[in-house]
Structure 1
Amino acid sequence: MKALVFHGPRDIRFEDYADPELRSPNSVILQVRTCSICGSDLHMYHGAHIGNTQYGTDSPRFCCGHEFIGEIVEAGPDVHRFRTGDKVLAAGGTGCGNCPDCRTGNAGRCSVATAFGIGPTLEGGQAEYVCIPNADATLHATDGLNDDQAILHTDAMATAYFGLTRAEPKPGGTVAVVGLGPIGLIGVELAYALGAAQVIAIDPVETRRTMAEKLGATALAPGDDLVPQVRELTNGSGAQSVFEASGASGAIASALPITAHRGNASFIGIPEPHDTLPMPLIMFKNITVRGGVCDVPNMWPHLIPLVREGRIKGEGLFSHDFDLSEGAEAYRLFDSREDGVVKVRISVN
C-alpha cells in the first residue's frame, strides 16, 4: 500500500509500506477514505516530544496519523458490533480490548493504550489501509455525520469537549480559550452551547482570531497586555474557566494569570518537558488545575447528539484539501500557518 511515513523531523514521505494484517481476533482492517493532520502530529514533525519519546533522525519508520475514517474490509472473529462494508470513524487511540479497564469502557487506562501513528507500536491511518485493534470499542458508525464531522470526532471535537468541560464552564459565566487551532475553535463553539455568556479567544494568528469572532467570541492577541485586557473584560476578576488548547509554551504560561480566583484551568495541549506551571498562582488564587489526554469514545455519547441536532457544527475548519501523495506539502503548510490554514483534509481512496 501507499502511506505517509515518518523518517525524521520534517521528513514525511509518501511511499510504499507493508499492508497491515489483523493483529488480534478483535481487530479490523480499515480502508481509509479520508484523513487529517492533528496539531500533536507536529511534535513529531518538529523532532520534539510526545510523552517520554523524542523524535529524531534515528527514530524508527512508521505510518503517521490518528485522524481517519473509512470502510471495514476485513474483520476478526471477535469483532461483534461491526462487519465488512461498514463505514466508520476511529478514535485516535485504543487499548488492548481484553484487560479489565478496556472491558469496562476505560481503554484510556489500559497499560498498553496508545495513539495511532506516533510510533511503530500502532501504525497510523495516513495510509490506504490501517489495522484497528479493539475494534468494537474503538470504532463508531458514521451514520448521520458528514465526512468532516466524522473526522473531527476521531480526536479534535472529542478533545475539545473533554478539555472544555474539565474547566467547568458555568451557565452565564466567562470562558477563555487559549489557542485557536481546530480544538480551540471548537471549544469556543462548545462554550456557548454549554451556556457561557462570554468567551474570550486568544491566539497570535489574526485569521484564527477572526474565525473566533464570527462564532461570537471576543478575540485577543497574546502579549504583555493580555492580563489587563482580560481583567477589563471581566470586571477585574479574570475568566472563571480557562481552556488551554494549544500546547505551545506561551499558551501554557498565559493560562493561569488570566484565571479568576477560585477558577478552573484545563490543559490539553501536549507540553514539552521544560513546561511548568507557577505553584504560587495555583495556591494563592485557589485555582483548580486539570490536564489529561482525552478518552475519545467516552465523549461520543455527549457529542454526537449535539452535532446531529445542529447545536454544534464545527464548520469551516477544513481550509485546505490534499491527496495522500501530497502529504509532505500538507504537513509543511499545516506547520507554517500560511495561507489561512486551519486544518487540512487528505483524500486517500
Structure 2
Amino acid sequence: MKALVFNGPRDIRYESYADPELATPNSVIMKVSACSICGSDLHMYHGAHIGNTEYGADTPNFCVGHEFIGEVVEAGSDVHLYKPGAKVLAAGGTGCGSCPACLIGQPLKCPQATAFGLSTALQGGQAEYVCVPNADKTLMPTEGLTDEQALLLTDGMATAYFGLTRAEPKPGGTVAIVGLGPIGLIGVELAFALGAAKVFAIDPVAERRNAAEALGAITFAPGPDLVEQIREATGGLGADSVFEASGASGAIAAVLPLVAHGGNASFVGIPEPQDTLPLPLIMFKNVTVRGGICDVPNMWQHLVPMVQQGRVKAEGLFSHDFTLSEGAEAYRIFDAKEDGVVKVKITV
C-alpha cells in the first residue's frame, strides 16, 4: 500500500509500506477514505517530544496519522459490532481491549494504550489501509455525519469538549481560550453552547482571531498587555475558566495569569519537557489545574447529539484539501501556517 511515512524530522514521505494485517482477533482492517493532520503531529514533525518519546533521525520509520475515517474491509473473530462494508471513524488512539481498564471503558489506563501513528507500536491512518485493534470500542459509525464532522470527531472536537469542560465553564461565566487552531475554535463554539456569557479568544494569527470573532468571541493577540486587557474586560477579575488549546510554550505560560481567583485552568496541548507551571501562582490564586489526554470514545455520547442537532457546527475549519500523494506538502503548509491554513483534509 501507499502511506505517509516518518523518515525523520520534517521528512514525511509518500511511499510504499507493508499492508497491515489483523493484529488481534478484536481488530479490523480499514480502507481509509480521508484523514487529517493534528497539531500534536507537529511535535513529531519538528523532531521534538511526545511524552517520553523524542523524534530524531534514528527513530524507526512508521506510518503517521491518528485522524482517519473509512470502511471496514476485514474483521477479526472477536469483533461484534462492525462487519465489512461498515463506514466508520476511529478514535485517535486505543487500548488492547481485553485488560481490566479496557473492559470498564477506560482505555487510557490500559498498559498498552497509545495513539495511532506515533511509533511502530500502532501504525497510523494516513495510509491506504490501517489495522484498528479493540475495534468495537475504538470505532463509531459515520452515518448522519459529513466527512468533515467525522474527521473532527476522531480527535479534535472530542479534545475540545474534554479540555473545555475540565475548565468548568459556567452559564453566565467568562471563558478564555488560548490558541485558535481547530481545537480552540471548536472550543469557542462549545463555550457559548454551554452558556458562557463572554468568550475571550487569544492567538497571534489574525485570520484565526477573525474566525473566532465570527463565532462571537472577543479576540486578543498575545503580548505584554494581555493580562491587563483580560482584567479590564472582566471588571478586574480575570477569566473564570481558561482553556489552553495550543501546546506552544508561550500559550502554556500565558494561562495562569489570566485565571480569576478561584478559577479553573485546563491544558490539552502537548507540552515539551521544559514547559512548567508556577506553583505559587496556583496556590495563592486557588486555581484548579487540570491537564490530560482526551478519552475520545467517551466524548462521543455528548458531542454527536450536539452536532446532529446543529448546536455545534464546526464549519469552515478544513481550509485546504490534498491527496495522500501530496502529504509532504500538506505537512509543510500546516506547519508553516501558510495561506490562512487552519486544518487540512487529505483524501486517500
The alpha-carbon deviation at position 77 of structure 1 amounts to 0.5
Question: What amino acid maps onto 2:223 in structure 1?
Answer: G
CA distance in 1, matches of 2:233, 2:139: 42
CA distance in 1, matches of 2:251, 2:194: 23
Residue pairs, 1:261-300, within 5 angstroms? 261-300=261-300
CA distance in 2, matches of 1:279, 1:9: 34
TM-score, scaled to structure 2: 1.00
Which residue of the partner structure matches residue 148 of structure 1?
148
TM-score, scaled to structure 1: 1.00
Which residue of the partner structure matches residue 309 of structure 2?
309
CA distance in 1, matches of 2:247, 2:53: 16
CA distance in 1, matches of 2:341, 2:133: 32
Q: Which runs of 4+ in 1 moved over 6 A?
A: none
Does residue 1:221 correspond to 2:231, yes or no? no
Which residue of the partner structure matches residue 162 of structure 1?
162
CA distance in 2, matches of 1:255, 1:52: 24
The alpha-carbon deviation at position 108 of structure 1 amounts to 1.0
SS of the equivalent of 2:222 reads coil
Residue pairs, 1:132-147, within 5 angstroms? 132-147=132-147
Residue pairs, 1:91-130, within 5 angstroms? 91-130=91-130
SS of the equivalent of 2:120 reads coil
CA distance in 2, matches of 1:267, 1:21: 36
The alpha-carbon deviation at position 10 of structure 1 amounts to 0.3
Which residue of the partner structure matches residue 87 of structure 1?
87
Question: What amino acid maps onto 1:58 in structure 2?
Answer: D
SS of the equivalent of 2:297 reads helix
CA distance in 2, matches of 1:111, 1:224: 43
Which residue of the partner structure matches residue 236 of structure 2?
236
CA distance in 2, matches of 1:104, 1:258: 37
SS of the equivalent of 1:112 reads coil
- After superposition, what is the alpha-carbon deviation per residue over 1:282-337, rounded to whole angstroms, capped at 9, x for unaligned? 00000000000000000000000000000001000000000000000000000000
**Fraction of identical pairs, as percent:** 75
Question: What amino acid maps onto 2:5 in structure 1?
Answer: V
Which residue of the partner structure matches residue 36 of structure 1?
36
The alpha-carbon deviation at position 115 of structure 1 amounts to 0.1
CA distance in 1, matches of 2:148, 2:244: 24
Which residue of the partner structure matches residue 341 of structure 1?
341
Which residue of the partner structure matches residue 57 of structure 1?
57
CA distance in 1, matches of 2:237, 2:92: 37
- After superposition, what is the alpha-carbon deviation per residue over 1:52-76, rounded to whole angstroms, capped at 9, x for unaligned? 0000000000000000000000000
The alpha-carbon deviation at position 249 of structure 1 amounts to 0.3
Question: What amino acid maps onto 1:288 in structure 2?
Answer: T
CA distance in 1, matches of 2:106, 2:308: 25
CA distance in 1, matches of 2:143, 2:106: 24
Which residue of the partner structure matches residue 178 of structure 2?
178
Which residue of the partner structure matches residue 319 of structure 2?
319
Which residue of the partner structure matches residue 77 of structure 2?
77
Which residue of the partner structure matches residue 203 of structure 1?
203
Question: What amino acid maps onto 1:70 in structure 2?
Answer: G
